[in-house]
Chains A and B, each alone.
Chain A
């Protein structure tokens, strides 16, 4: 830390020091902690635990698809339950919670130079309500009738009817209640993240000096605060349909030869509400990944990010556009051709800011001093995977191409590539990158490289063949595929191969888990700034940072987050809190 502060360079503090609640006991320090860093670890651990459940569910699904009839306990009903819970857990309870609740809580206060989130008590409540939501979700596995098998989109009317597992039992009720709890809990945390970024930055930290990680998480949180309300309303209304017998989403319908009491509701209304949430949700997961990967690439290529401002505006543009594309998930539901035209156009326009980001990542790498560390490997893998998944998105965004491909394995391959594998690669990269700050020790690199190669290549071996199966017309969401005439001998082999690879990749994650636990005690000592990075979280006086993050004085920011390899500087990185008089900067004027 440099203690010389040119007083006139940076405006004086506008806000007094934050009052922090200092814990008095073990319980308030590690369990009911108000420290954003502890909350972040709690969020991450819970999300990882429930994510493991989703991983096992995907194994069970692949067992059934790859070797049909071999495993008696996987009935068609159980298969639908696995598929539903796998999807919902991965999208909401793992990816959203880990990116925003985990990385958001840990990185926002540290990166903007704050002592903590602005309202730590509300932040703590956010985690405990999230945990409650997870427990309600898990409880549905033990409820009579098991969890819901409605598919992760929970489309009515089938979601609450007799034929669907959990439809007339506890499953769907617990699912909807859990989602409502999740949204309440998330709102408490999300408000904190937004206000901390807008109103809680340190001296000298302008919005255009924020690391792109913060921009990604911030924009995603704003989007979540505006998109989750639609899901909340949809859940409340479906819960009323199921419990009180209202007909918001239920048309007049005959079930098992009997006319149901419902009358006059609109299933399409649910689809609109769900996808008004569901499409922004894709970017709620993707934008933090974009931000984090930008920082990983810049740090590990020892080069400033190319086109910082364009990167910021691209994040904002993607966030705004993602609210006007939702009906591209509903082409097969039928709509006026002009609407199809509108939604296809807006969908394809998103490719422009996204392409800007991809070009800028590549141009950041161009002639950089690339260190192939484990975080960098994951970041590079992300770019490739995201481009792959994004290109198939262009296929599916067009109405005439989407209609025949809809509900085939092609769709499964597309969204797993773009919002499954790609963000998870970033999560892994980010964990390898920030683990030294959280624990003070490095993760084992050999195990990390093994984990990377198996995960990266394995993910391609799983999802690439699915494109072919999809183009052949193999449908998704079918518990049994073998009897179809289009399922040729070679397709059957390919299908079994996918299942085997799913197991291989899954077991590689156990190596990662072992690495996480083993390195807490046995990892190499990391020191305060092992990657020689510029952002504020690496400049803390202690590692792991103490409660209050920055010791006695908050850091003052003099430059942007990307002063790597500045000509004329002694080191190849200049931290954000080094004054301009001491070292030159490449910050765009």
Chain B
């Protein structure tokens, strides 16, 4: 597998800044000199996925801007009655807090992974997965609440039918991403816990040996899902 570091030249020998980028792209073997195959693949996948979410969000904005029926007010729709008081967006605020916290625990897991601290890495990854699962759980709660209030993909009591369609489609697609992330977090955490990355145990399907960098690649995906949520939060709930 592709190592992350240059084996033969020290970073000091290489030109810096833009000249360095030009030199790397003009060179043989690798265009990104300190990037492994797995990491490069994840970045390019995330770029492609950005276009998917971008198309979803643009379609939602088109629907919202072109509709002639009033758009339901998100502050009222997504309010919870707590202690006899309507608090707007409270559940979404908690969900956002939980997901962003999970990015923090993920970053810590990556750090401990590179220090070869198996125990802390695995625990932090499982904590990240638990926070992610909490997020999905709260999303399920939110869906249930809206459905009981009469929101359907094809209509709702308050206004434009596209409100429900866009809401279920976009949060559903994002929630699927989070769920897939949780599953892979658990799988990678198990590998870390078992010491697969220390012993060089081949993967069950791929028969390739994994490295602690896999924790970081997992982290890239997780931070991306988190970042996408920030955009969904801004464009769907705050607009």
List residues of A whose CB falls within 8 A of some B CB.
10-16, 18-19, 21, 118-119, 121, 187, 191-192, 194-195, 198-209, 225-226, 228-230, 232-234, 236-237, 240, 244-248, 261, 263-266, 269, 273, 276, 557
Contacts and interface: CB of A to CB of B under 8 A. Distances in A.
Contact of B29 (A13, A118, A192, A225): A13
Given A195-B41, A240-B153, A205 B29 contact: yes
Contacts of B208: 19, 21, 121
Given A226-B47, A226-B48, A233-B56, A14 B8 contact: yes
Q: Which of A14, A119, A276 lies at the interface centre, i.e. has the most chain B CB atoms within 10 A of its CB? A: A14
B52 to A, nearest CB: 4
Interface string B30-72: 1111011110110011011101101110010011001111000
A333 B97 CA distance: 45
Contacts of A203: 28-29
B3 A15 contact: yes
A244 B166 CA distance: 13
Range, interface on chain B: 35 or more
Contact of A246 (B8, B27, B49, B154): B154
| In the A-B complex, the 4 residue pairs with the closest CB atoms | A229-B51, A233-B55, A246-B165, A229-B52
22 contacts: A15-B30, A21-B208, A119-B38, A187-B48, A195-B37, A195-B44, A198-B32, A199-B30, A199-B32, A199-B35, A201-B30, A206-B28, A208-B26, A233-B59, A245-B153, A246-B153, A248-B165, A263-B69, A264-B68, A265-B162, A273-B59, A557-B28
Given A18-B1, A233-B59, A247-B161, A119 B206 contact: yes
Given A18-B1, A199-B35, A204 B28 contact: yes
Contacts of A191: 41, 44-45, 48
B61 to A, nearest CB: 10
A207 B154 contact: no
Nearest to A264: B67
A225 B164 CA distance: 29
A209 B29 CA distance: 11
B7 interface: yes
Contact of B41 (A118, A209, A226, A229): A118
Nearest to B9: A11
A487 B68 CA distance: 45
Interface in B1-31: 1-3, 6-8, 25-31
B1 A16 contact: yes
A11 B8 contact: yes
Nearest to A234: B55
A479 to B, nearest CB: 33
A248 B51 contact: no
B148 interface: no
Contact of B40 (A195, A233, A244): A195
Contacts of A200: 2, 37
B43 to A, nearest CB: 9
Nearest to A243: B153
Given A195-B41, A202-B29, A245-B154, A225 B48 contact: yes
A164 B51 CA distance: 31
Given A14-B7, A230-B51, 9 more contacts: A15-B29, A199-B32, A205-B28, A208-B26, A229-B55, A230-B55, A246-B164, A248-B165, A265-B162
Contacts of B48: 187, 191, 225-226, 228-229
Nearest to B209: A19
A21 B28 CA distance: 26
Contact of A121 (B8, B169, B206): B206
A234 B62 CA distance: 13
Contact of B153 (A15, A187, A244): A244
B69 A264 contact: yes
Given A119-B41, A207-B26, A266 B161 contact: no
A19 B209 CA distance: 9
A14 B59 contact: no
B170 to A, nearest CB: 10
B239 interface: no
B37 A118 contact: yes
Contacts of A273: 55, 59
Given A194-B44, A206-B26, A230-B55, A240 B169 contact: yes
B35 A246 contact: no
A226 B47 CA distance: 8
A269 B63 contact: yes
Contacts of A10: 28
Contacts of A187: 45, 48
A181 to B, nearest CB: 15
Contacts of B169: 236-237, 240, 246
B160 interface: yes
A225 B3 CA distance: 26
Contacts of B164: 246
A290 B30 CA distance: 25
A437 to B, nearest CB: 24
Determine which residue in B51, B62, B66, B205 has the highest number of CB atoms from chain A within 10 A of its CB, and name it. Answer: B51
B85 interface: no
A14 B26 contact: no
Given A240-B165, A247-B165, A19 B154 contact: no
A226 B51 contact: yes
A543 to B, nearest CB: 26
Contacts of B153: 240, 244-246
A244 B154 CA distance: 7
B199 interface: no
A202 B29 CA distance: 5
A15 B6 CA distance: 8
Given A19-B208, A248-B162, A207 B29 contact: no
Contact of A232 (B30, B52, B161): B52
